[in-house]
């Protein structure tokens, strides 16, 4: 089951990569401007994304731990969290397939926190070494995003902090190809990820898996 969850989290990140380009693509492209002149942008882009994925992993560990504590002390909380994660995964499938986009309201929930974190990122600009891009990416990983928040809800029912962290790590890996393509200026790859059929197929797979999770929580 864990392997299926990780693969599903990766697919969510892969399908949502187009959304990530809209949210973070401009930032990734701008990394060239704040990197040393004449230096390759590759190590800076990779460092930024490692920092970003690390922030997802930390958030997943926190929500996974919270879910375990809740399940340990509240009767039937584990079933409720499993049901919630299935429902959120189904809503996320609707979001990825553009059948319903109501999850965008979740992005407003994190604006207050990010408004306090964002000024901290300026301390690392311009980049002197790729290591400077790591904390910069970590801070921008907390950019309000309905896609991330929905996946975090899923990690609540992961069972442990380690499982929650792993789910978000694989989700982050899924977002990586599109953002790297955006950094490299590869319009062909970006168009491939934007293709309607690609998004629809993954959305349908996610919806079927969400239905399986909901049934498992109820039965």
Question: Going by C-beta distance under 8 Å and a sequence separation of 6 or more, which residues neighbour residue 203?
Answer: 15, 93, 94, 96, 97, 99
Q: What is the pLDDT of residue 65?
A: 95
Angle, CA 66 vertex, CA 137 and CA 111 arms, to 5°? 45
Other beta carbons within 10 Å of 205: 17
**Tokens 């891009």 belong to which residue?**
133
Q: What is the pLDDT of residue 201?
A: 83
pLDDT: which is higher, 195 or 199:
199
| Domain boundaries, position 103 | 2-218
> Structure pTM?
0.84
pLDDT > 80? residue 125: yes
Number of domains in the chain: 1
Nearest one of 21, 8, 9, 11 to 178, comparing CA atoms: 21
Give pLDDT tens digits for 30-60: 677 777 887 777 888 889 999 999 999 999 9
Give pLDDT tens digits for 78-94: 788 888 888 888 888 88
The two tokens of residue 27 are 């930032």
């Amino acid at each position: 089951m864990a392997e299926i969850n990780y693969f599903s989290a990766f697919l969510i990140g892969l399908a949502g990569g187009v959304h990530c380009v809209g949210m973070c693509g401009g930032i990734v492209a701008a990394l060239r401007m704040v990197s040393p002149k004449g230096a390759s942008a590759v190590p800076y882009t990779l460092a930024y994304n490692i920092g970003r994925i690390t922030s997802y992993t930390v958030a997943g560990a926190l929500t996974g731990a919270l879910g375990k504590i809740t399940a340990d002390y509240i009767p039937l909380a584990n079933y409720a969290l499993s049901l919630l994660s299935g429902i959120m995964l189904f809503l996320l499938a609707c979001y990825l397939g553009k059948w319903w986009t109501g999850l965008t309201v979740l992005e407003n929930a994190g604006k207050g926190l990010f408004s306090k974190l964002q000024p901290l990122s300026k301390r690392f600009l311009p980049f002197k070494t790729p290591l400077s891009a790591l904390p910069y990416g970590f801070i921008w990983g907390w950019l309000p995003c309905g896609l991330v928040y929905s996946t975090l809800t899923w990690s609540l029912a992961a069972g442990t902090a380690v499982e929650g962290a792993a789910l978000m790590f694989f989700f982050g890996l899924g977002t990586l190809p599109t953002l790297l393509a955006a950094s490299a200026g590869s319009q062909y790859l970006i168009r491939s990820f934007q293709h309607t059929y690609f998004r629809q197929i993954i959305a349908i797979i996610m919806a079927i898996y969400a239905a399986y999770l909901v049934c498992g929580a109820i039965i």
